[in-house]
Structure 1
């Protein structure tokens, strides 16, 4: 199948140019002015539009079993909704239960993901430790193309990774050339504050942000960064929601440490007042972790994105409908944590980032696709409009408008955290694997159209202590 995109402005993270783009057999084969039209080729008129790499959402949870229920969005509906918003790839999470064999969990997620209609890859969470975990991490990196491992510093008595587990996992990642990622919240602080609030009779969603204060995120971010520094492993902090955590990232990066930050579209736009809404369903629909924060944190996060100290944007897309959220009607700790966003991320960021002057067109591409592709080692296959890259392309009309609504979105959830938001700038066409899968509101997808993307390991490293010990080894003295 061939597609010629004609008359648009190609935008990459490093430049923009007026050019046509020719797609054949799932790849970009030519980028240039006035390209010749091959026989039988479909033509898309991109006049007045931008031609950009398809979005990469590096943080989603499709079909996740969590807190006694299962997320309502599966890999088909979730990737379809993503395509409607201009996203062509996701990186989801394999999350083994405590003591569950991680290869067994990985195979389960791979089975679920077979119905995806856009490309996908996986981070794998390390929730416990023994020698089998160490061995399986090697198998995942060397044979399955997994180059990132997740560590939950929250959710005590469930999937929280203790410091010992993190130390051993971080050390193994160094050996394998993998990157480590963390959900940075102090799980003990959260656990104790949850108990205290319930004892005080504060049981509704308004207790959720009170139990997860900014300091709990800042402390965990600092601890993870320091541990990564000692070991010498690259670290990626997911869903940074506070200035506290951002300050820790900036300090580490200024010291030369390889630390990366991710921010959610929701954390840039929504504040914690939603948890004090008198309607339980409304307030509970916003319960996620970390929670939405006071407005001054949003200002800091935007500046972090603008300065390059936060490199990626994501959604933590994890859908639970009102009947599922109702499990925590009398106890906020039982409300399943998660909100949606995979369909809306790019339009929200364009409207409130590009249209406000916070981000250039090129910076938008960087934070929605190119940086994630680089950090997780699939660039320039993904995240770039260039010859040889996968034909994952979004045609973007910067003047098109719409109102975000649960009534019109494609996400399989009964609530939208951006409900009523007027956006200017949206995807008109999305090409994935060289196939036009979304065109002017028409989703043209079937189950199984997506591909699993292996991500190569980085160059294997040495434990930082080994380097120091070698440098300080006593020299032999001649007698």
Structure 2
């Protein structure tokens, strides 16, 4: 398929200019003024609209087996909804059970993802440790293009990574040139608070945020960052929800430590009053971890994006319907954790961020696409508008509006955390792999199985650096 996007204004993370964009054979073939359309080209009129790199969501959980059930969104429905919202690539998570070989889990997730409609990659979680995990990490990096590993510091008695696992895995990541990522919540404190609240008779969703106060996130972020700093490893902190964790990231970055932070669209918009809704189902629908916070924390997250101490935005898209949430009707600790958002992330961040005067259009591109591509080594194939890059593009209409609702969204879940919010600025068209998959803001042409697994090269690891150093020293010795 050949597509010419004509008459739009190209917006990247560092530039804005008027240009046509020609897409051929899945790539951006040319960028310029008044490009001639090939005879077989479909032409998109982008007059008065912006042409942006396709969104990249670095944090999704499609089809995740979790807390006694399975997320309602599979890799097809979830990525299709993402295309309708302007997201053309996701990074999902392979989460082995404790004791399960990493490679076995990876192959399982690869099988589930074969139905994806958009491109995808994987972080792989380290949920236990022995020599086989050490070896599998090397295989994943060197043979399968995985360059990031996830560590859950929460979920005691399940998938929680203890400090000794963090030390071993972070060390291995450094050797391999991979990026360790962490879910920063002190699992021991969370478990203690949960049992204390249940003993007090607090069993509903209102107890969920009480069991996971900002302090438990701040402590875990500090601990993980200091472990990484001691070892000399970089670190990426997922779904930063509060000022406490952000302060730890900011401090470390000021000391020159390579620390990166991600925040969720939901945490930027929604406050903790949702857990006090008299309708149990609506309160439970918002149960996720970390929980939604008070407004002061939302303001801090926006400041983090503005200052560059938070670099990426995500959704933690993990859908559970009303009947699944009801598993915790009498015990809030059994409510499956997760909310949706892949279809709405870009529009709500544009509306609140760009329209709200908090971030520029260039910053919007950076935090919804380019920064993720750079941190996880997909740039400039992804997150860029330049010749040779993948033709993953969004034609963005800054004046069109949409009222978000579970009645009309494409996400396979019966609740929307942004229900009733009217946004100004929406994806009018989405191009994925050079194919026109979302047309005129209403026609979804997602194709099951069209998504490709994207390998992400490792950064030079300790072993690579030492090998090159040894080779240089050997060459110098020979010369002498």
TM-score, normalised with respect to structure 1: 0.96
Equivalences for residues 152-301 of structure 1 within 5 A: 152-301=152-301
Q: Deviations over 1:346-395 (max 9, x none)?
A: 00000000001111111000000000000000001000111010000000
Equivalences for residues 121-160 of structure 1 within 5 A: 121-160=121-160
Question: Any idea what SS the aligned residue of 1:431 has?
Answer: strand
Instruction: State the partner residue of 2:446.
Output: 445
Alignment pair present for 1:100 and 2:100: yes
Query: d(CA) in 2 for partners of 1:340 and 1:3?
Result: 31
Asked whether the equivalents of residues 327 and 334 of structure 2 are also in contact (C-alpha less than 8 Å), the reply is yes
Identify unmatched segments of 5+ residues in structure 2: 466-480
Pairwise CA distance, 1:408? 0.5
Query: d(CA) in 2 for partners of 1:40 and 1:183?
Result: 48
Q: Deviations over 1:383-416 (max 9, x none)?
A: 0111010000000000000100001000000000
Question: Any idea what SS the aligned residue of 1:288 has?
Answer: coil
Alignment pair present for 1:454 and 2:431: no
Equivalences for residues 391-402 of structure 1 within 5 A: 391-402=391-402
Instruction: State the partner residue of 2:476.
Output: none
Alignment pair present for 1:80 and 2:80: yes
Query: d(CA) in 2 for partners of 1:255 and 1:63?
Result: 39
Query: d(CA) in 2 for partners of 1:310 and 1:35?
Result: 38
Query: d(CA) in 2 for partners of 1:70 and 1:461?
Result: 38
Alignment pair present for 1:326 and 2:314: no
Instruction: State the partner residue of 2:111.
Output: 111
Which of structure 1's runs of 4+ aligned residues deviate more than 6 A? none
Question: Any idea what SS the aligned residue of 1:4 has?
Answer: strand
Instruction: State the partner residue of 1:17.
Output: 17
Question: Any idea what SS the aligned residue of 1:364 has?
Answer: helix
Query: d(CA) in 2 for partners of 1:463 and 1:47?
Result: 49
Instruction: State the partner residue of 1:475.
Output: none
User: RMSD of the alignment, in Å?
Assistant: 1.0
Asked whether the equivalents of residues 428 and 439 of structure 1 are also in contact (C-alpha less than 8 Å), the reply is yes
Question: Any idea what SS the aligned residue of 1:58 has?
Answer: strand
Query: d(CA) in 2 for partners of 1:42 and 1:205?
Result: 50
Query: d(CA) in 1 for partners of 2:397 and 2:324?
Result: 37
Question: Any idea what SS the aligned residue of 1:317 has?
Answer: coil
TM-score, normalised with respect to structure 2: 0.96
Question: Any idea what SS the aligned residue of 1:357 has?
Answer: coil
Query: d(CA) in 1 for partners of 2:369 and 2:62?
Result: 19
Question: Any idea what SS the aligned residue of 2:123 has?
Answer: strand
Pairwise CA distance, 1:286? 0.1
Q: Deviations over 1:309-361 (max 9, x none)?
A: 00000000000000000000000000000000000000000000000111111
| Count of matched residue positions in the alignment of Structure 1 and Structure 2 | 464
Q: Deviations over 1:90-131 (max 9, x none)?
A: 000000001111100000000000000000000000000000
Asked whether the equivalents of residues 171 and 463 of structure 1 are also in contact (C-alpha less than 8 Å), the reply is no
Asked whether the equivalents of residues 240 and 261 of structure 2 are also in contact (C-alpha less than 8 Å), the reply is yes
Asked whether the equivalents of residues 83 and 446 of structure 2 are also in contact (C-alpha less than 8 Å), the reply is no
Moved more, 238-247 or 36-45: 36-45
Instruction: State the partner residue of 1:419.
Output: 419
Query: d(CA) in 2 for partners of 1:21 and 1:137?
Result: 40
Pairwise CA distance, 1:461? 2.9
Equivalences for residues 20-35 of structure 1 within 5 A: 20-35=20-35
Query: d(CA) in 2 for partners of 1:295 and 1:243?
Result: 11
